[in-house]
Amino acid sequence: LSGGGVVALSESQSEAQHPKIEDREPRKKKVVVLGTGWGATSFLKGLDASLYDVQVVSPRNYFAFTPLLPSVTCGTVEARSIVEPVRNIIKKTNGEIKFWEAECIKIDAADKKVLCRCNIENLVGSGEFSLDYDFLVVAVGAQVNTFNTPGVKENCHFLKDVEDAQKIRLSVIDCLEKAVLPSQSEEEQRSNLHFVVVGGGPTGVEFAAELHDYIQEDLIKLYPSVKDKVKITLIQSGDHILNMFDERISSFAEQKFTRDGIEVQTGCRVLSVNDQEITMKVKSTGSVCSVPHGLIVWSTGICTVPVIRDFMQEIGQAKRHVLATNEWLRVEGCENVYAIGDCSSINQRKIKDDIIDIFKAADKNNSGTLTIEEFQEVMDDIIVRYPQVEYYLKKKNILDLRVLWNDPQGNEREEIDIEGFKLALSLADSQVKSLPATAQVAAQQGAYLANCFNRIDHIEEHPEGPRRFTGSGHHNFRPFRYKHFGQFAPLGGEQAAAELPGDWVSIGHSTQWLWYSVYASKQVSWRTRYLVVSDWTRRFIFGRDSSR
Ligand code: FAD
Ligand code: MG
Ligand code: MG
Ligand code: MG
Ligand code: MG
């Protein structure tokens, strides 16, 4: 198809008098975007839509501000306040962007098309269609990982999407209404009011904290007869909750939860779940116990969605856990397909695999050795291309590159050969890190990719980015580099913890205010910002709503 269909009509006859239509106005390349989450909307906002023919496919016609989902579970913030219709987001751009409310069910990389299906109820006619693309941007996110634990899908709530949060809100109220019925024994009351959270990561912890506040600040006043029977348990398989955060934050969170009466069970693995009980194993003792529950929220991390699994199979990535891209976010082993956000992970190249190429490129006079000037020049490029070097220098507190240049005894040398060069850089590969599955990463990747697409000629020349190290040539097309701006963990009771760049940790009430202001400012539109802030204000004045 590429090049246009006119070619087949009349190659020879009229070409001289009438140049082909395509010659006068070349067909715009087709970009298909899968998803309307953090990655996709950030890409769409940054993209110059006049350069391409852009189509967006997602089963949800809105963007959801996921960091506020835990607040939606307890009505602190209303669901409608954290979503923005995708049609609002895309109409602002100069070109035209089309949106189709459908789910991609197959990516056909060989034929460069995607098969989609609309799931809207009572649709007349077929909801299936296929779209051709020149470039595909995959940003479908991930799904909750149940680790195939029996009964989890059927009996647990997830907290991944707006619908999930709304369901949890209803279920919490249902549990209380059930518990106060005259027919309930005390034991049944306690079972109904046992709220279990599985997973001690940021989402599980924040939900537990929200639920605790909701119950203590609003619900026990309304259900006084059962106020002593409510219990929240947080189950974590690792030794500490929030273990991706600084130690100070995770121990503060554990202590606060214990004071609040939230039972934190670390070192515990859930074996199975049914509608009555949750069964778990204490790792240290090996003992197995079952406890009755009223509601379980399962939040133990993410895994790849089926459509991406199939795609990985097709392109030879079947053995991997996550779809791999190169540092320019292009899917490995696949032309013209890019992937961003939670559905993919960057396969960072190791320096040791490229060391010979790097050395050759740096050694301009082919002498077999590098001078200090050559070394310093190539290091500038290496730091751009291999982020592990920067992490390594930071970790070892190396401010001056001469430390790498000197020999192992610390003496300054005249020249360095390939072996010495290898030695100087070999340790940096230990600092290769995979990026966290966060909105921050997805949004930065979307913005980066939009920037690349806006330089259209560049994308066409180097759709894969420079494959090998070519000296300074790649400077005008830098690989993606993540910039961490810190992370919050709201802990309830108007307290929050934050880890900010430079090992800066802040915990307490003032951090909660910082949280309010950051999250208000991060809203995608003035409309949602107004809604969120007024929800917070309403909550401060009137408390949360408790109707079903
Ligand atoms: P998503 O935002 O999940 O978007 C995926 C999109 O793809 C959705 O629009 C979906 O409808 C669509 N889609 C799914 N399947 C298909 C298909 N087959 N075809 C087409 N479209 C499809 N991160 C932070 O940085 N800070 C936080 O405080 C934070 N808090 C969080 C709290 C919660 C409760 C959750 C669940 C996540 C939180 N995250 C946070 C993580 C953050 O939400 C994700 O990392 C981010 O959403 C990833 O963006 P994405 O674009 O890859 O995927
Ligand atoms: Mg997305
Ligand atoms: Mg999202
Ligand atoms: Mg990722
Ligand atoms: Mg030389």
Beta strands in 326-421 (DSSP E): 337-339, 344-346, 369-371, 415-417
Distance 332 CA to ligand 2 centre (A): 19
Query: Any residues with CB less than 8 A from the CB of 409 and at least 6 apart, and which?
Result: none
For ligand 1, whether the C-beta of 83 sits within 6 Å is no
* pLDDT tens per residue, range 203-251: 999 999 999 999 999 999 999 999 999 999 999 999 999 999 999 999 9
Q: Which amino acid residue places its CA nearest to atom 42 of ligand 1?
A: 439
Q: Are β-strands 231-235 and 262-265 bridged in parallel, bridged antiparallel, or unpaired?
A: parallel
In ligand 1, the atom with minimum distance to the C-alpha of 488 is 28
350-433, CATH topology level: Recoverin; domain 1 (1.10.238)
Distance 524 CA to ligand 3 centre (A): 12
E strand or H helix at 383: helix 372-385
For ligand 1, whether the C-beta of 139 sits within 6 Å is yes
Distance 143 CA to ligand 4 centre (A): 13
Judged by its nearest atom, the ligand closest to the C-alpha of residue 324 is 4
Judged by its nearest atom, the ligand closest to the C-alpha of residue 325 is 4
For ligand 1, whether the C-beta of 440 sits within 6 Å is yes
Burial of 216 (C-beta count, 10 Å sphere; 0-12/13-18/19+) = middle
d(CA 269, CA 488): 26
d(CA 129, CA 56): 13
Two structure tokens written together for 332: 């490995």
For ligand 1, whether the C-beta of 39 sits within 6 Å is yes
Distance 368 CA to ligand 5 centre (A): 6
Q: Identify residue 508 by its one-letter amino acid code.
A: G
CA angle, residues 360, 363, 364, in degrees to nearest 5: 110
- pLDDT for 23 equals 53
* pLDDT tens per residue, range 384-406: 889 899 889 888 888 888 888 88
For ligand 1, whether the C-beta of 308 sits within 6 Å is no
Tell whether domain 6-59+102-142+304-345 is in CATH 3.50.50.60: yes
261 to 176, 198, 237, 282, 296: CA distances (angstroms)? 18, 17, 20, 20, 18
- Best residue for ligand 1 mutational test, from 116, 337, 438, 512 (most atoms within 8 Å of Cβ): 438
For ligand 1, whether the C-beta of 102 sits within 6 Å is no
Closest CA to 82 of 539, 450, 530, 474: 530
d(CA 362, CA 369): 9
For ligand 1, whether the C-beta of 32 sits within 6 Å is no
E strand or H helix at 166: helix 162-179
Q: Which amino acid residue places its CA nearest to atom 53 of ligand 1?
A: 141
- pLDDT for 466 equals 45
73 to 76, 201, 203, 226, 349: CA distances (angstroms)? 8, 17, 12, 21, 41
* pLDDT tens per residue, range 473-529: 444 578 899 999 999 999 999 999 999 988 899 999 999 999 999 999 999 999 999
CA angle, residues 514, 517, 523, in degrees to nearest 5: 135
For ligand 1, whether the C-beta of 69 sits within 6 Å is yes
Closest CA to 390 of 377, 375, 380: 380
In ligand 1, the atom with minimum distance to the C-alpha of 340 is 52
For ligand 1, whether the C-beta of 138 sits within 6 Å is no
For ligand 1, whether the C-beta of 169 sits within 6 Å is no
**Average pLDDT in the 25-45 region?**
94
- pLDDT for 6 equals 33
**By mean pLDDT, which of 15-19, 105-109, 116-120, 475-479 is the weakest?**
15-19
Residue 247: how many other CB atoms lie within 10 Å: 11
CATH of 152-303+485-542, one of 3.10.129.10, 3.40.50.300, 3.50.50.100, 3.20.20.140: 3.50.50.100
Judged by its nearest atom, the ligand closest to the C-alpha of residue 56 is 1
Domains 6-59+102-142+304-345 and 152-303+485-542 in one fold: yes
* pLDDT tens per residue, range 58-72: 999 999 999 999 999
* pLDDT tens per residue, range 249-278: 999 999 999 999 999 999 999 999 999 999
Residue 430 three-state SS: helix
For ligand 1, whether the C-beta of 499 sits within 6 Å is no
Closest CA to 195 of 73, 288, 78, 287: 73
Alpha helices (H) in 214-362, listed in sequence order: 220-222, 247-260, 306-314, 351-362
Two structure tokens written together for 192: 């109904």
Q: Which amino acid residue places its CA nearest to atom 14 of ligand 1?
A: 140
d(CA 283, CA 291): 16
Distance 63 CA to ligand 3 centre (A): 6
E strand or H helix at 308: helix 306-314
In ligand 1, the atom with minimum distance to the C-alpha of 59 is 11
Domain spans, the chain: 6-59+102-142+304-345, 152-303+485-542, 350-433
Cross-strand partners of 508? 496
For ligand 1, whether the C-beta of 175 sits within 6 Å is no
**By mean pLDDT, which of 242-256, 415-429, 460-474 is the weakest?**
460-474
Closest CA to 370 of 396, 404, 411: 404
Judged by its nearest atom, the ligand closest to the C-alpha of residue 369 is 5
Residue 276: how many other CB atoms lie within 10 Å: 11
In ligand 1, the atom with minimum distance to the C-alpha of 161 is 36
- pLDDT for 10 equals 36
Cβ(439)–Cβ(447) below 8 Å? no
- Residue 548: pLDDT band (50, 70, 90) is confident
**Average pLDDT in the 2-8 region?**
33
User: How long a stretch of residues is the chain?
Assistant: 548
* pLDDT tens per residue, range 318-367: 999 999 999 999 999 998 999 999 999 999 989 999 999 899 988 988 88
Distance 34 CA to ligand 3 centre (A): 12
